[in-house]
Amino acid sequence: MDLKQLQYFISVVDHMNYSKAAEKLHISQPSLSNAIKKLEHEIGSPLLERNTRNLKLTEAGQLLYERAIVVLKNMEILKLELDEVVVHGTSEITIGVMESIKHWLPKVISNYKTLYPKMKFHLVDILGSERVKNSLRSYKTHLIITNQLMDEEDLEVKCLYEERLVAVLPMNHPLAVKDKLTMADICKEPFIISKEGFQTREDILNAFEKAGMDINIQFEIERLETAISLVRENLGVAILPEKYLQGPTAYAIVHKEIDSPYLRRNVYLVFMKNRHLPSAIRQLLGDIEDYFDK
């Protein structure tokens, strides 16, 4: 049997109709029927039970269908990996990122560029655990840096660092004079928070719940820079990752530690366990881990 036969067989099973499968494959129905009969002859067993109304898989057909899907998927992955090695070589890397890593990732890339000066980088926003998993499994990204913790057999997940989630206030806010805040200090404040689906939102809501307090949400945002802008205009307070609040970002605002054991998060490096990654990309993985080990 060959890959084309397997493709034909899968299409027939998916449609359970020869004419629809033939139309999808852009071949004639007699040609498709003959191809399946030839496949059955090679295997030595019927794959489909036929009657006047419908088709049904035999036990051998069910086994072949399940294995054929895996074979074709692996061939698709192999083509992608070979294309990456042969065509692109070590010329392109696609990284899924989140906004809060903007201060440290450029430093890693700057050092990396001394070894691979011609490497082209694609940095794309990947937020939410499902998007992270789908992006890696569809080979759209080589690696992703995220605060989403995932326990999946096919994903390698490495914790890079832990950071505090801190309160962000306008400089003239009455709470700005305190060294450390409590949950009670900020629970009545107009609050700026990420929209549903963001892990940081869940972490913040969990901290308020553990403290037995409600949160006064007035703004829901997607980007941290929007939260900063709203805080600067005295429209509310926010809780943001501490590492994000560096450099020019901290202008005209103050950030304060909050007395809560739940306002912390981990940041992870995630990539596919069994995907072939060129040595240049493996070098970058090592450089990212080394940056925080040091």
Q: How far apart are CA 220 and CA 204, in angstroms?
A: 13
Tokens of 245: 């609040």
Q: What is the pLDDT of residues 123-143, one digit of tens each?
A: 999 877 888 999 999 889 999
The average confidence (pLDDT) of the chain is 89
Tokens of 13: 């099973």
pLDDT of the residue at 88 = 46
Nearest to 170 by CA among 98, 81, 256: 256
Q: What is the pLDDT of residues 171-229, one digit of tens each?
A: 999 999 999 999 999 999 999 999 988 889 999 999 999 999 999 999 999 899 999 99
CATH fold for the domain made of 89-160+266-293: D-Maltodextrin-Binding Protein; domain 2 (3.40.190)
Q: How far apart are CA 233 and CA 223, in angstroms?
A: 16
Domains 89-160+266-293 and 161-265 share a fold: yes
Residues 191/218, Cβ–Cβ less than 8 Å: yes
Percent of the chain with pLDDT over 90: 50
Q: How far apart are CA 155 and CA 115, in angstroms?
A: 27
Q: What is the pLDDT of residues 57-106, one digit of tens each?
A: 888 889 999 888 888 887 877 776 666 655 445 578 899 999 889 889 99
Q: Which of 17-26, 82-91, 205-214, 271-280 has the lowest mean pLDDT?
A: 82-91
pLDDT band at 119 (very low <50, low <70, confident <90, very high): confident
Given CATH 3.40.190.10, say whether it is the number of domain 161-265. Answer: yes
Break the chain into its structural domains and give their ranges: 3-87, 89-160+266-293, 161-265
CATH fold for the domain made of 3-87: Arc Repressor Mutant, subunit A (1.10.10)
Tally of CB atoms within 10 A around 165:
22
Q: How far apart are CA 197 and CA 145, in angstroms?
A: 17
